[in-house]
Homo-oligomer: A and B are copies of this chain.
Amino acid sequence: MNETDALAAFSSISSATRLRILKGLVTAGPEGMNAGEIAELVDATPSRASFHLSNMADAGLVISNRQSRQISYRVNFETMGALTRYLMDDCCQNNEIVRNCCVTGNRC
């Protein structure tokens, strides 16, 4: 992941609505959720949800595919992994405090 991609991803998840969409989609798992369900989840109008979803898709955070009439969105975990690593390695140069914090079970 390069700086431009990282900026787009950080920018995308710096909106409360989009961060909640992301969390909802992580919970939903590989099946994903339809645009309409997502809109309901975050209490947004269809067009507003669509706007945020296309922002997330542009940032590579989610992947969409049409299932008959509905469009299903799921998390792109590759991007999320690359982003987390960008934060840890490119930004923090694999700093010890940061690395240590990221071992699940550790206090930080």
Contact = CB atoms under 8 A, between A and B. Distances in A.
A90 interface: yes
Interface string A15-57: 1100100110011000000000000000000000000000000
Contacts of A93: 26-27
Contacts of A19: 3, 6-7, 10, 91
Contacts of A22: 91
Contacts of A78: 97, 101, 108
27 contacts: A3-B16, A6-B19, A7-B19, A23-B91, A26-B92, A27-B93, A75-B92, A77-B92, A77-B95, A77-B98, A78-B101, A78-B108, A80-B91, A80-B92, A81-B97, A81-B98, A81-B102, A81-B108, A84-B84, A84-B92, A84-B98, A84-B101, A84-B102, A85-B101, A85-B108, A88-B104, A99-B104
